[in-house]
């Protein structure tokens, strides 16, 4: 969430906080909705969630987020990538892992920047 633009509204901040909940916990969208999270927030969360059985490449998944036109999801995914490629975080990795992360995120990150304008 702290990687979002300073002017990001609460819906985007909540989506950023929840971005891994659907794929990493037992919680469902319905349960999150019952807790009071809005459709806007949950739509962004669903768009950035890695779905079981999704055979698309990472680049294809990013293209799907961009194609959705959901600016909230695009911002959340860019913030997530920015966290994953933070130089301090990368410095703690083995050189080969650091190179793999840098390569994995370079083009998709640039695509998200372009989509955000």
Q: What is the pLDDT of residues 91-117, one digit of tens each?
A: 999 999 999 988 989 999 999 999 999
User: 94, 5, 111, 10: which is closest to 58 by C-alpha?
Assistant: 111
Poorest-confidence range of 40-49, 53-62, 66-75? 53-62
Structural domain boundaries of the chain?
10-116
What's the whole-number mean pLDDT along residues 55-82? Answer: 95
DSSP string, 77-99: HHHHHHHHT-HHHHHTS-HHHHH
What's the whole-number mean pLDDT along residues 25-52? Answer: 96
C-beta atoms surrounding 65 within 10 Å: 21
- Joined tokens for residue 84: 């994953």
What's the whole-number mean pLDDT along residues 45-51? Answer: 95
Query: At 52, is the pLDDT very low, low, confident or very high (cuts 50, 70, 90)?
Result: confident
């Amino acid at each position: 969430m702290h990687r979002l633009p300073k002017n990001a509204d609460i819906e985007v901040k909540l989506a950023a906080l929840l971005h891994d909940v659907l794929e990493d916990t037992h919680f469902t969208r319905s349960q999150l909705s019952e807790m009071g999270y809005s459709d806007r927030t949950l739509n962004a969360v669903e768009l950035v969630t890695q779905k079981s059985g999704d055979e698309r490449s990472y680049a294809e998944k990013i293209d799907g987020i961009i194609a959705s036109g959901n600016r909230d999801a695009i911002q959340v995914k860019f913030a997530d990538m920015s966290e994953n490629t933070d130089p301090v975080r990368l410095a703690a990795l083995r050189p080969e892992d650091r190179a793999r992360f840098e390569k994995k995120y370079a083009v998709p990150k640039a695509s998200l920047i372009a989509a955000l304008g």
